[in-house]
Amino acid sequence: MSTIEVNTPPGAFYNKGLGLGTQVKGQLARDYHSEIVEYIRTNGHTRRVGSLHFHLAKEFGFCYGVDRAVDYAYQTREKFPDRRIFLTGEIIHNPHVNRRMMDMGIRFLFGQYAETQGYEQLTPEDVVILPAFGVAHEDLKKLSSLGCILVDTTCGSVLNVWKRVEQYARDGFTSVIHGKYSHEETKATSSQATKYAGGHYLVVRDMAQAEIACDFLAGRLSKADFLNVFCNSISADFDPEKHLQKIGVANQTTMLSSESLAIAGRLCRAIAEQFGEANIDQHFRTFDTICSATQERQDAVIELVKKNLDVMLIIGGYNSSNTTHLAEIASEHQGTFHIDDAACVLGLEAIRHQPVMQHEEVITHDWLPAGEVHIGLTAGASTPNNKIGEAIERIVRLRGESLEEWMK
């Protein structure tokens, strides 16, 4: 462990790395790189091993924002070897990466990995890493007031959404955010609206909830019923009679792009019906805020499932929004199994996985056909390549094929 930290003052703020990328590059490669995955990627994204044909999506795994966040965390540990380091919550939604943070002595302030919840344990001598999702505006103010050293790894795509939501609030538009109200990113995004006096937000989970908002606009739903449905996903003192007069649409960056666009279109029609087509610009705004990496991975899955596959594996954390959406897309076309890691492949006869739209793992038998089999693989933007490689390696070994012949 390095001992290069010298007298960093309380309240220091890093949002462009810590200048130690070269020093941690080897460690990152050891922890997350996969020779197997790299070989397949550089050889046409397909590889045959005996009777197994593996087909890797054109875009998969760590995106730039996730890669940057993890890199900054490693740099932080390198720069501050003797200080307490905390993450406000999961750095990304991958259990293996979060447990690696713990192995490095990085603690968590909130969430399932936290020993003690809350900011009360912090001092100005501590270092706090803000995750790729960002943190709510109120939390950032609290951390700044405590004088902690802050390392901001917030993804640039998330910051772009924040700018859009802030502009809506400044112009008197309520932000309607397509997302999961309990997701860290959506919490952080919605807080950008309430930074401004009179700023408000509404979070809609899916098209069904968007339709509820449209029902209110059309007079088919009472105010009381609206507030009952959205009691957990609206800003304080939200009054739909006032705050749905002018709306701007944004979204959590990892949602299904097609659904976000459909929701924006549906809300636009509802506003036009309410105020007239000629007045739409005074009452409605929209901007596609799905990040490019999310879109690329979704497009790559659509392309991959068009092949003659026998089974599709989606690898990544079950609480990862972008990963679950990949599974959702693939399952519409192909027998699909969303697995956390290689350990979920129990054998040739059984696999443990989480079905689409469910929240518990199940075990499915006879998942892998006998004989020649074509297996499609992809991973969410929070999944390191070594987890893909380990899954491939396990299937190859279970089939009794030769790994020694793998890259010849």
pLDDT tens-digit map of 133-186: 999 999 999 999 999 999 999 999 999 999 999 999 999 999 999 999 999 999
The neighbour count for residue 20, using CB atoms within 10 Å, is: 18
**C-alpha–C-alpha distance, residues 251 and 291, integer Å:** 10
CB 160 within 8 A of CB 117: no
Catalytic option among 78, 184, 185, 328: 185
**C-alpha–C-alpha distance, residues 122 and 39, integer Å:** 45
| Mean pLDDT confidence for 82-90 | 97
Judge whether residue 2 has pLDDT over 60. Answer: no
Q: What's the pLDDT band for 288 if we cut at 50, 70, 90?
A: confident
Judge whether residue 327 has pLDDT over 80. Answer: yes
Check if 185 is active-site: yes
Q: What is the pTM of this model?
A: 0.94
- Residue 34 Cα distances to 38, 70, 344, 396, angstroms: 6, 17, 19, 15
Report pLDDT for 407. Answer: 65
**Tokens describing residue 339:** 């697995």
Tens of pLDDT, residue by residue over 26-76, are: 999 999 999 999 999 999 999 999 999 999 999 999 999 999 999 999 999
Judge whether residue 335 has pLDDT over 80. Answer: yes
Query: What SS3 state is found at 342?
Result: helix
Residue 42 burial by Cβ neighbours in a 10 Å radius (0-12, 13-18, 19+): exposed
- Residue 368 Cα distances to 86, 121, 238, 312, 371, angstroms: 42, 49, 51, 10, 9
Judge whether residue 206 has pLDDT over 60. Answer: yes
| Mean pLDDT confidence for 90-101 | 96
| Mean pLDDT confidence for 298-324 | 96
Report pLDDT for 5. Answer: 61
Residue 311 burial by Cβ neighbours in a 10 Å radius (0-12, 13-18, 19+): middle
Q: What's the pLDDT band for 10 if we cut at 50, 70, 90?
A: confident
| Mean pLDDT confidence for 91-119 | 96
To 10 degrees, the CA torsion angle through 184, 185, 190, 192? 110
Question: Above pLDDT 90, what percent of the chain?
Answer: 94
Structural domains of the chain, ranges and CATH numbers in brackets: 31-62+293-401 (3.40.1010.20), 65-155 (3.40.50.11270), 157-290 (3.40.1010.20)
Report pLDDT for 1. Answer: 46
Q: What is the DSSP letter of 119?
A: S
Q: What's the pLDDT band for 402 if we cut at 50, 70, 90?
A: confident
Tens of pLDDT, residue by residue over 148-160, are: 999 999 999 999 9
